[in-house]
Chains A and B, each alone.
Chain A
Amino acid sequence: MDSKLRAILPDHDLLRMYEQMVLCREFEESCAEQYTKGHITGFLHLYSGQEAVAVGSTHALHKDDYILSAYREHAQAIVRGADPRRVMAELFGKSTGICKGKGGSMHLFDPELSFMGGYAIVGGQFPIACGLAFASKFRKENRVAACFFGDGAVNQGTFHEGLNWARLWELPVLFVCENNFYGIGTAVGRASALADIHKRACGYDIPAVRVDGMDVMAVYEAVKHGAEWVRENSRPYLIEAVTYRFRGHSMADPGKYRPVAEVELWKARDPIPGFARRLVEEGVVTQKELDGILVKARVTVAEAVRFAEESPWPEDGEVYTDIYV
């Protein structure tokens, strides 16, 4: 991508995107620490390395477009506007969490932000995205359902069912695959007959592109184009964002199945310093300002942790609420 950043977005937006990527990274790294301390329990899947996808995509979507994601979704929720303090509290299981501390890391949900959930069942979100898109079309509201998923999810039946429905009924779904090359320990080439995931859309007559998921502007432009195409044509579109997770699958996974050299290669392509360099080179921001952004993100995250620590546990009776019994 040769175009200058400022030709794509004003400084304000560029900075906001940078800030959010930094915030997400700091948030996730802090989660790792809180998990090690025993404050976060269960499974914790971190997003470090993939920030450009959530940030680039969310900026390209309308505020009321639906977002659905899997269980590696803290960043998706925060970038969409969820308060980092309440997300952290949710991970701690505290009553001030965005799901009252009952859902935890994998089940973030915030209807006010049109954030329609993290899904712990791989592939669970495809048909739901189709249903939301159907309703949006039915009501003539022109909202897009952006459905995020991993490379592992494309071998689940619901992926194929979802793509077929979306095309057959001409539904405004934007499918975004975050291809980080592994589903837990299984490399994409060992799990998929066709590892070029975007090509799979072809079987459903859905246009698709592959984009560098380590480049936030590339993601932004692809999603901008894709989402507008979906809106105009009321038809699905698929984006494969090629990315990498810097940590293991979850905190319980030492990730021994990935060669060290491979991990290092991808870390050298870290989306955050990459974007920082461009911002400085093109005079959008000074290094000093960038340092300030990092400090600010750290303060936000430290506040989030403090908020979570100080928040009360849910009452036992909370177990019986929000459910038909």
Chain B
Amino acid sequence: MPIMNMVQAINLALKEEMALDDRVVLLGEDVARDGGVFRVSEGLLDAFGPERVIDTPLSESAIVGAAVGMAAYGLLPVAEIQFMGFIYPALDQIFANAARLRSRSRGRYSAPLVVRTPYGAGIKAPELHEESTEALFCQMPGIKVVVPSGPYQAKGLLLSAIRDPDPVIFLEPTRLYRMIREEVPEGEYTVPLGKARLAREGKAVTVIAWGSMLERTLKAVEGYDAEVIDLLTLSPFDEETLLASVRKTGRAVIVQEAPLTCGLGAELSATLAEQAILHLKGPILRVAAPDVPIPLARLVDHYLPSVERIREALEEILKY
């Protein structure tokens, strides 16, 4: 089985799905001739031609809005936004149109589009090039939000996302793009949306993480009897798996890269409290970034949840 990084795995998923289904089209800034800023769509223009791999003007709102129209007409657009911090001009199209086409047309249309975007810290640029505002999207009914944590998951989830009848925001942790290399099968396999993955079994505490925080979490739990859940789909998230684990361990720690307030961790925490409070031995803890813009260079290390901070949370919860 070939070993590849996440960039290659996503590229492979796109290539295979485009070969399989001629309704799949890619669009975005510099995705065609240049192969995308992170080289995710490298070679696809040559393979599928300019009608299916489309360089767009610098117009995020139109990229997503046009994808909604394409999707309504039966195409399966995969739009790329260069960085998550550039998606805000397109929020209107995502929230006002992509998310609502199904309900507005009373179920006769849906918007089977995917918006892919690099997400999170990892390239040592500040602010908008390192955003992790996934919770914004989770707040909006009608769209799904997916975050792979490695190459294998990335390929399988992207195939599911393209085939899903509803709009999917597909967040690709920039830090992981070239960090993890693993076996990725060529050819057909999918990872289902809406299902979390048990990344590690344990009995004393459940740690929930996603994206680039998973890798850190797995480091932090070494030596602890901790169960680690890789959320994969943030919306709708896999309540069942979370609850089963927390009912078993009686303790929960949530690790998110995003700022604390109103992050996805808050929603997960509320769900655990509502449905599993009687199984809990102590408070649900969140490890998150502070509520400030992402700083430059050195300060990023202070800003991001670290292995040490995750361990501190483990130590604290295990006192109960």
Contacts and interface: CB of A to CB of B under 8 A. Distances in A.
Contacts of B127: 103, 106-107, 120
Contacts of A229: none
Contacts of A157: 59, 61, 89
13 contacts: A92-B297, A93-B297, A107-B127, A120-B129, A152-B57, A153-B58, A157-B61, A157-B89, A184-B29, A186-B30, A191-B56, A192-B57, A319-B295
A318 to B, nearest CB: 7
B34 interface: yes
List the 6 closest pairs (A to B, CB-CB), nearest first. Answer: A42-B125, A93-B297, A41-B124, A155-B57, A185-B34, A104-B296
A320 B124 contact: no
B59 A101 contact: no
Contact residue range for chain B? 20 to 34
Contact residue range for chain A? 35 or more
A174 B60 CA distance: 25
A320 B299 contact: no
A249 to B, nearest CB: 9
Given A156-B59, A186-B29, A320-B290, A120 B89 contact: no
Contacts of B59: 155-157
B302 A104 contact: no
Contact of B58 (A120, A183, A320): A183
Given A101-B296, A157-B59, A186-B29, A257 B290 contact: no
B126 interface: yes
B135 to A, nearest CB: 17
Interface of B: 29-30, 33-34, 37, 55-61, 85-86, 88-89, 123-129, 290-293, 295-299, 302-303
Contact of A190 (B55, B295, B297): B55
A316 B299 CA distance: 6
Given A41-B124, A153-B58, A102 B295 contact: yes
Contacts of B58: 122-123, 152-153, 155-156, 183, 186, 191
Contacts of B293: 323
Interface of B is mostly: loop
A120 B85 contact: yes
Nearest to B82: A184
B299 A314 contact: yes
Contacts of B126: 42, 102-104, 106-107
A21 B127 CA distance: 30
A42 B124 contact: yes
Contacts of B302: 316, 319
A185 B292 contact: no
A253 B303 CA distance: 28
Contacts of A314: 295, 298-299
A290 to B, nearest CB: 36
A42 B300 CA distance: 12
A165 interface: no
